Structure 1
């Protein structure tokens, strides 16, 4: 997207500082993913993460990162700039307030899925409701699985990086030869945000068999986001659960308030969540169909089941918003951008 007298581009450190000051969405750290661009409005302390697709589409991620009083101005500036470039804007993974903001600007808004969060104060894996989780964690321990946090400087060494790369390749192969690794709406191990993430690995019989990375979350529910999970196909049952439980305990010991399980598309869809603005019944039915039969596109039911078994106390809707209404071109470009097709 071309700009006229565009403000100076943000450095990675400046973008991170803005996230610390203004971000509240649990997945806002995805703004630092490699490949994302950052739109700035002149004179405003903030930015909008986005990517372009084709010649006519711009995909905004998560909404404006700025003070609440500046959000209207930033979004208006983005829409003006996109219009001058001949692009229509689609916003992805919006929280409720950002969705309402876009609805006020004439966007068609539909619920896209939900995010899940655990308040760590007083949280415990004890009790009858958590018995299945404890059984999986204990099974991995009996198999001899151990979990270690790997510091950022260690992750950059050739041996560790090569091991993690090998797990990535094996994980993807295990999904099937036609499956692509999703992009844009999930975390990554490298990129500009790598120094700020935390990574826990699981070892079994002398080799690394899985890892989970966590990204920082800012705002009123500050904490960590369960971001990226990879495991070898032959990792013992309960390995990921043991990594998760170990990290959760570590975060509690550090006084962390929240552990966010992240966004899952096509789940927890409820029509009443979009009562604040115009919505598309056609898109709603398509999303409901994907929820029921779309495992080939994304294993949403499996992801939701994993997250629900940890008994998150907060489940919040997240939204898609289309400028000038939902168009087949925008939907297709979004699926291509995320590598869903």
Structure 2
């Protein structure tokens, strides 16, 4: 059922695209490729310039979405920065589709960098999305009321009622602003904007859509002279249907509705110019802004690197995705070029200077390269070094073959410019993983299939006048060889994609969930001892699976609860490249299994590892670390600790440190103390982020013992690394009827001992939810965590734990949890709590 829900959206998009292409095939069955190209070539320069100017004005109006949204939440940012963020987000969302997801994620990345909280970014995205739809609904509704719907369109008889309904929705939004108190919808309280703010939303949205319609209107043939109102009615209906279809950019759906609306079915004199105008419209309104946005990002990155501004790291993190998107576009261009007819005058030149065999091979290889670029784009997004090198080689080769197959200097220029932009960015693609180990999301697979489907349709459209026969596959000619070349190139490209898919499917699968072997623990121990954080010793518990990098220079420890694959802490190791690669490897392993990757209790020093792969960060508490160099019992502030230690020393308590080799003989005594402690506290063993009383675990670490005479009254196993960076404890148990203050005594003696051994820090562990702020402007998670911290004593002693650790005057350092974006957060939090608590009952029981 879960898999069906994941597949439903992409499969619906593919189905809608197939239906749209089939509808286009039926509507334009009398049109041929030459007629469309002839109209495109005949569009005057004045019309093209006017379309570009209107497009520029349209994207300028789109920046008002963000400016009004920021004003509605009381935030102000520099106008140039807001305009840049708005333009980039809309350039990509308009071209790629899925506007809420694409523009929302881009805004999130940029606005968080600009100081907005997660809640504020969500409010900005919601404001912009509502403005977008309110404007479209208002424009469509008013247009349907004023202009009759062409009877050729489906549901034309419902045009007037539909217009009334669509107009009422924005009016209801305006009327809702008159209600002063928040509305209650189920569990949520919603405050509607004032009528003035609502009116701004509607007007900006309507003006935006009106300008988009004007761009296409100036490109349409003169035969459509029924006025802008009639054209606008068809345009807004086509755009709405295209948006509802969820096909990227409404590709095919928008074109089919436009042809039907203008009654172009079977009328080649009208259908060919409309298709030509639509093709130019997509280039001007979608492709040119997309390229401009990419240039702006690259320019900003270069400037940021020179000035070392705050923007540089942020744009650096986005660049691989930008290059991946452009590579995807380049691959599609090569496939579409191979599917269409070459210009006769250029072929005449090639016939004089090239052998036919060179032309045939170049055409075939150009399409194969197009398919490979679609695949390599995913590798670039994953920052693979091999994908970077292969993409550079194939871009240059694709440019050369584009010239050899038809002197297509336009696409050769595009490929060359992309290669030149990509060449100096090698440092961004640092991963050494195999390309065949890269996971392809369902959305990515759908995109590749969609491009291949469109290329197939273009072959059928471009050569519909050619009768198919088996002999076509073996025809080679300068004059009549266009159709055979296109068919061979399409099959070769599809075969290349299928071979890659087959090689990926038969690759070894390393998915497993089992306790580590003794050999793996032995391999992990040197890495643990050299790692700065002593908490890496939790791997020795043996309850978490260990995932090593191929060179065995780093590992992550993880466990699985529900769909959450949760690592404990950061990757363990001192090799930064190996640690970075492990984050990617773990992420891809989770994707193959359909799980959610979660990195629990990670440190601020490694946050870039998780931001790089697109994860979100939640602060989950603060960790207390005592600087041993300055720790002592002198002064008035340490009087209570000093008196406690002195009293217990007089009462005969003494601490002993024993090596791991000596722990086995002490296990019976340790068990007696542990069982008594569990009974006295009425708690059960935790796991994952804490150790448990497991003999095989305890014999792997040194032990601190507290004796009173000949009786063992307390113990703690020690985490000690070889670098003397940090010392810590895990399992701490004492007799319930032992001397009062015994834990204070143990901590003080351990810190003094560790200072004498040359350790720099003593780690007291994390105080969950500490340091979270319950302020009005704070993110929702912070406010919820602060509420639990202040009022959750029934379930866990949050405040008491922080207060106890404060008596040792530690330095508090934040700890985070890296989680994937989306709506899975509540389930992830429940899974993590269950994992630590030893089951759901452990979340509410001690």
Normalised by the shorter chain, which TM-score bucket? Answer: 0.7 to 0.9
**Residue by residue, what CA displacement relative to the aligned partner does 1:165-213 show, whole Å, maximum 9, x if unpaired?**
122122122223xx33221112345466645522222223542221122
Select the residue among 188, 202, 215 that pairs with 2:706.
Answer: 202
Residue matched to 2:526: 17
Residue matched to 1:186: 690
Partners of 1:147 and 1:242 within 8 A in 2:
no
Residue matched to 2:565: 58
Question: What's the offset of the Cα at 1:338?
Answer: 0.6
Number of aligned positions between the proteins? 324
Separation (CA, whole Å) in 1 of partners of 2:546 and 2:771:
30
Say if 2:787 is the partner of 1:289. yes
Question: What's the offset of the Cα at 1:262?
Answer: 1.7
Separation (CA, whole Å) in 2 of partners of 1:193 and 1:215:
12
Separation (CA, whole Å) in 2 of partners of 1:33 and 1:296:
29
Q: 1:36 to 1:191 in 2, by over 3 A?
A: farther
Partners of 1:25 and 1:95 within 8 A in 2:
no
Question: What's the offset of the Cα at 1:70?
Answer: 3.2
Larger mean Cα displacement after TM superposition, 290-299 or 160-169: 290-299
Q: 1:217 to 1:117 in 2, by over 3 A?
A: farther
Partners of 2:549 and 2:578 within 8 A in 1:
no
Larger mean Cα displacement after TM superposition, 114-123 or 210-219: 210-219
Give the greater-gyration-radius structure (CA): 2
Question: What's the offset of the Cα at 1:38?
Answer: 1.0
Residue matched to 1:275: none
Say if 2:656 is the partner of 1:148. yes
Q: 1:298 to 1:26 in 2, by over 3 A?
A: farther
**Residue by residue, what CA displacement relative to the aligned partner does 1:8-51 show, whole Å, maximum 9, x if unpaired?**
97621111112234x23342222222211111233462111111
Partners of 2:774 and 2:784 within 8 A in 1:
no
Residue matched to 1:251: 754
* Structure having the larger proportion of residues in strand: 1
Q: 1:286 to 1:31 in 2, by over 3 A?
A: farther
Q: 1:35 to 1:70 in 2, by over 3 A?
A: same
Question: What's the offset of the Cα at 1:261?
Answer: 1.4
Select the residue among 318, 326, 330 that pairs with 2:815.
Answer: 318
Separation (CA, whole Å) in 2 of partners of 1:41 and 1:206:
48
Partners of 2:674 and 2:693 within 8 A in 1:
no
Say if 2:532 is the partner of 1:34. no
Separation (CA, whole Å) in 1 of partners of 2:774 and 2:538:
27
Select the residue among 590, 593, 617 that pairs with 1:109.
Answer: 617
Select the residue among 802, 823, 831 that pairs with 1:333.
Answer: 831
Residue matched to 1:276: none
Say if 2:172 is the partner of 1:172. no
Select the residue among 290, 302, 313 that pairs with 2:800.
Answer: 302
Partners of 1:146 and 1:203 within 8 A in 2:
yes
Select the residue among 480, 502, 508 that pairs with 1:4.
Answer: 508
Separation (CA, whole Å) in 1 of partners of 2:637 and 2:680:
31
Separation (CA, whole Å) in 2 of partners of 1:324 and 1:192:
38
Select the residue among 736, 742, 748 that pairs with 1:233.
Answer: 736
**Residue by residue, what CA displacement relative to the aligned partner does 1:289-339 show, whole Å, maximum 9, x if unpaired?**
221122343323222222211112x21000112113452221111111111
Separation (CA, whole Å) in 2 of partners of 1:133 and 1:39:
43
Question: What's the offset of the Cα at 1:267?
Answer: 1.4
What RMSD in Å do the two structures reach over aligned CA positions? 2.7
TM-score when scaled to structure 1?
A: 0.85
Question: What's the offset of the Cα at 1:224?
Answer: 0.9
Q: 1:18 to 1:154 in 2, by over 3 A?
A: closer
Give the 5 Å matches for 1:78-89.
Answer: 78-89=586-597
Separation (CA, whole Å) in 2 of partners of 1:214 and 1:300:
24
Residue matched to 2:436: none
Larger mean Cα displacement after TM superposition, 183-192 or 324-333: 183-192
**Residue by residue, what CA displacement relative to the aligned partner does 1:77-110 show, whole Å, maximum 9, x if unpaired?**
1111111011111111100133332133222211
Give the 5 Å matches for 1:87-126.
Answer: 87-126=595-634
Separation (CA, whole Å) in 2 of partners of 1:109 and 1:77:
19
Separation (CA, whole Å) in 2 of partners of 1:205 and 1:121:
31
Residue matched to 2:642: 134
Describe the SS at the equivalent of 2:629: coil
Partners of 2:645 and 2:745 within 8 A in 1:
yes
TM-score when scaled to structure 2?
A: 0.36
Describe the SS at the equivalent of 1:121: helix
Q: 1:44 to 1:203 in 2, by over 3 A?
A: closer
Question: What's the offset of the Cα at 1:148?
Answer: 2.1
Describe the SS at the equivalent of 1:27: helix
Give the 5 Å matches for 1:64-79.
Answer: 64-66=571-573, 67-79=575-587
Q: 1:86 to 1:60 in 2, by over 3 A?
A: same
Partners of 1:225 and 1:260 within 8 A in 2:
yes
Partners of 1:216 and 1:224 within 8 A in 2:
yes
Q: 1:24 to 1:249 in 2, by over 3 A?
A: closer
Separation (CA, whole Å) in 2 of partners of 1:18 and 1:51:
20
Question: What's the offset of the Cα at 1:144?
Answer: 2.8
Partners of 1:88 and 1:324 within 8 A in 2:
no
